[in-house]
């Protein structure tokens, strides 16, 4: 039988049937025969030569299979070692080529994603046509180019019908391409100029509400344009003037109005507002210099005493109060109300607002708020369930800006620092498992919020903290501080003399009873405002 297998293997080798010869030569007793050893040597060299041929023609798997068979039969024969070295070198070169190809594809992909469509397409032309990744990227570039052309066409149509807001939204959706595509870049520059002109015109016309809305839509453009930054500061200045008016600070309002006039010299409504502020300031001075000032204006023990004190004053004092009220009403606030009303719904510095369908939010009124682990030796205002050795950071609001300070260096975004002027979208990392995201959702408001991303408040229902300045916007859309889709339009909750009132066209019910729209929202009492149900609770 052995002699027969040796004859069969010899015939198979002679006919070039190498696999058949290999299978016969693998049998153990085949190797022990002298004739079998001779055939194994010839077969191994033949397999190695065929492997080199496969390798020269680029058939690496076949060459590797022949090399393995030759090594199994005869070990490290010189021709087998030569084949193994050649396979190793070619495999290494192939991996390098694949890596270089992947790198070039990745570079082309980055160019396309960054809006450099022509550059990316040129890099891919020589690699296209085989149905691989290059063809997919070329299709992506072509689709994006078509989308950009469509966006340009739609944006121009929007401008033709004077719909600047839609044009801004369309161009912003193009991402990095707006800086790389020449036609789109020119259109983008034109839209920015129109936005600046439109916002400035609205401010000069006294339509601050429309200017705020347009600036909110154009918010992503603010950091790119000094003129828009100046207009944003002007709107913030107007917000501070409104706060001064609401709290009866006529002198401060008059000073800020004068500053605003230097920035908006063509806003004629500021002349009238400044005149009214000066009249209100003079009226307030006269009121404070009269008997009410001697009685301690604004510090009555209760409503009844204030009312009796007012009725016992002389007629000239009554006239001053009436004049003062008329002047301040022109600014949408009754400044003399401080001497006539008690704030029966005083809010604590820290409270929770619970809104059906939106959740619970921790609200803090202080301009300076500390945040850190609840078990820290320095008890923070916003205590988080975290390691006790983590730092306690302070976030302070100054003139509408927020500054973070920490005694220990912490990571903010990708930098390790201890102080920073915060910007919307900043990620504050006290540790890997304790992260917060700082946001200023509404460009027209200086109220900010902290989202507990990777951090946990002791009350599991509280996922965000509101840093309340003057107003709190509730409603649909990303510009709301508290977002809920239950409301058809936004509700604005405003601070007035320590009370929280709602500016809305919707009806207001407290404990099921209809209320005046200027009624302060009480603590620990269910409130219904249109479709929104809420309650303010102490913490």
Q: Which candidate, 185, 186, 184, 217, places its Cα nearest to that of 199?
A: 217
Give yes or no for residue 524 having a pLDDT over 50.
yes
Amino acid 523: pLDDT: 87
CATH class of the 349-364+468-539 domain in this structure = mainly beta
Residue 337 predicted with pLDDT over 50: no
pLDDT at 398 over 80: yes
Q: Is the pLDDT confidence value at 343 over 70?
A: no
CATH number of this structure's domain 2-94: 1.25.40
Sequence-distant (6+) residues with CB within 8 A of 396 are 367, 368, 369, 402, 403, 405
Mean pLDDT comparison of 10-24, 83-97, 136-150, 289-303, highest-scoring range: 83-97
CATH class of the domain whose range is 366-440: mainly beta
Instruction: Encode pLDDT of 60-82 as tens digits.
Output: 889 889 888 888 888 888 888 88
pLDDT digit string, tens, across residues 354-376 = 998 788 999 999 999 999 998 88
Question: Is the full-model pTM beyond 0.75?
Answer: no
* Residue ranges covered by each domain of the chain: 2-94, 232-339, 349-364+468-539, 366-440
Helix axes 18-25, 34-56, angle to 10 degrees: 140
Alpha-carbon distance values, 474 to 357, 358, 477, 478, 494 (Å): 12, 10, 9, 10, 11
- Give percent of the chain above pLDDT 70: 86
Confidence of residue 129 (pLDDT cuts 50, 70, 90): low
Per-residue model confidence (pLDDT) at position 122: 79
At 328 the pLDDT is 45
Q: Which residues contact 498 (CB under 8 A, 6 or more apart)?
A: 343, 346, 347
Q: Compute the average pLDDT of residues 82-89.
A: 88
Task: Specify whether the CB–CB gap between 446 and 400 falls below 8 A.
Answer: yes
Same fold, 2-94 and 349-364+468-539: no
Q: What's the confidence (pLDDT) of residue 125?
A: 74
Residue 73 confidence (pLDDT): 82
User: Is it the case that residue 336 has pLDDT exceeding 70?
Assistant: no
Confidence of residue 295 (pLDDT cuts 50, 70, 90): low
- Could you report the per-residue pLDDT of 236-290, keeping only the tens digit for each? 888 888 888 877 788 888 888 888 888 888 888 888 888 888 888 787 777 766 6
pLDDT range class, residue 181, cuts 50, 70, 90: confident
Q: What is the pLDDT of residue 382?
A: 92
Q: What is the mean pLDDT of residues 45-53?
A: 88
pLDDT at 240: 84
Confidence bin at 313 (pLDDT 50/70/90) = very low
* C-alpha 292 chain-centroid distance: 51
Would the pLDDT of 174 be above 70? Answer: yes
CA atoms of 81 and 94, how far apart (whole Å): 20
Question: Among 253-267, 287-301, 476-490, 522-536, which stretch is predicted with the lowest mean pLDDT?
Answer: 287-301
Decide: helix, strand or coil at residue 527: strand
Report the pLDDT value the prediction gives residue 312, as an integer from 0 to 100: 40
Dihedral sign, Cα of residue 144, residue 146, residue 150, residue 153: positive
- Output the pLDDT for position 131: 64
pLDDT at 128 over 80: no
What average pLDDT does the structure give for the chain? Answer: 80
Least confident of 151-165, 175-189, 294-308, 386-400: 294-308
């Amino acid at each position: 039988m052995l002699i027969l297998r040796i004859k069969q293997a010899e015939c198979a080798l002679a006919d070039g049937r190498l696999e058949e010869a290999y299978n016969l030569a693998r049998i153990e007793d085949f190797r022990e025969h002298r004739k079998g050893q001779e055939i194994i040597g010839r077969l191994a060299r033949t397999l190695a030569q065929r492997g080199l041929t496969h390798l020269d023609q680029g058939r690496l798997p076949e060459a590797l299979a022949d090399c393995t068979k030759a090594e199994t039969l005869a070990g490290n024969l010189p021709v087998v070692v030569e084949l193994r070295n050649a396979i190793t070198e070619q495999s290494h070169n192939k991996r390098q080529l694949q890596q270089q190809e992947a790198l070039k594809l990745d570079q082309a992909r980055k160019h396309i994603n960054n809006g450099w469509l022509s550059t990316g397409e040129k890099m891919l032309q020589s690699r296209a046509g085989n149905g691989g990744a290059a063809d997919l990227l070329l299709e992506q570039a072509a689709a994006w180019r078509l989308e950009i052309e469509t966006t340009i066409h739609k944006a121009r149509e929007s401008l033709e019908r004077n719909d600047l807001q839609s044009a801004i939204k369309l161009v912003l959706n193009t991402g990095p391409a707006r800086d790389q595509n020449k036609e789109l870049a020119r259109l983008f520059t034109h839209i920015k100029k129109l936005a600046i002109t439109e916002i400035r015109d609205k401010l000069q016309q006294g339509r601050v509400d429309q200017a705020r809305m347009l600036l909110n839509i154009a918010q992503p453009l603010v950091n790119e344009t000094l003129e828009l930054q100046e207009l944003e500061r002007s709107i913030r200045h107007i917000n501070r003037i409104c706060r001064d008016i609401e709290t009866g600070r006529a002198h401060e309002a008059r000073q800020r109005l004068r500053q605003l006039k230097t920035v908006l010299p063509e806003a004629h409504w500021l002349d009238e507002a400044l005149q009214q502020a000066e009249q209100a300031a003079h009226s307030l001075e006269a009121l404070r210099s009269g008997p009410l000032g001697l009685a301690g204006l604004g510090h009555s023990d209760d409503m009844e005493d204030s009312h009796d004190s007012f009725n016992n004053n002389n007629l000239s004092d009554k006239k001053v109060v009436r004049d003062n009220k008329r002047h301040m009403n022109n600014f949408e606030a009754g400044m003399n109300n401080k001497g006539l009303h008690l704030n029966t719904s005083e809010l604590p510095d820290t409270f929770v607002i619970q809104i059906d369908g939106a959740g619970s939010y921790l609200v803090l009124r202080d301009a300076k708020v500390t945040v850190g682990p609840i078990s820290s030796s320095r008890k923070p205002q916003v205590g988080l369930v975290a390691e006790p050795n983590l730092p306690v950071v302070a976030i302070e609001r100054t003139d509408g800006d927020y500054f973070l300070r920490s005694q220990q260096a912490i990571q903010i975004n990708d930098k390790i620092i201890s102080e920073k002027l915060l910007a919307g979208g900043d990620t504050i990392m006290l540790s890997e498992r304790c992260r917060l995201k700082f946001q200023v959702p509404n460009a027209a408001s200086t109220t900010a919020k902290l989202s507990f991303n990777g951090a946990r408040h002791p009350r599991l229902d509280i996922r965000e903290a509101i840093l309340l300045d003057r107003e709190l916007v509730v409603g649909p859309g990303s510009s709301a501080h508290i977002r809920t889709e239950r409301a058809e339009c936004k509700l604005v909750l405003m601070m007035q003399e320590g009370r929280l009132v709602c500016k809305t066209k919707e009806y207001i019910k407290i404990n099921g009873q209809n209320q005046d729209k200027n009624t302060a929202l009480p603590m620990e009492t269910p409130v219904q405002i249109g479709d929104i149900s809420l309650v303010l609770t102490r913490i």
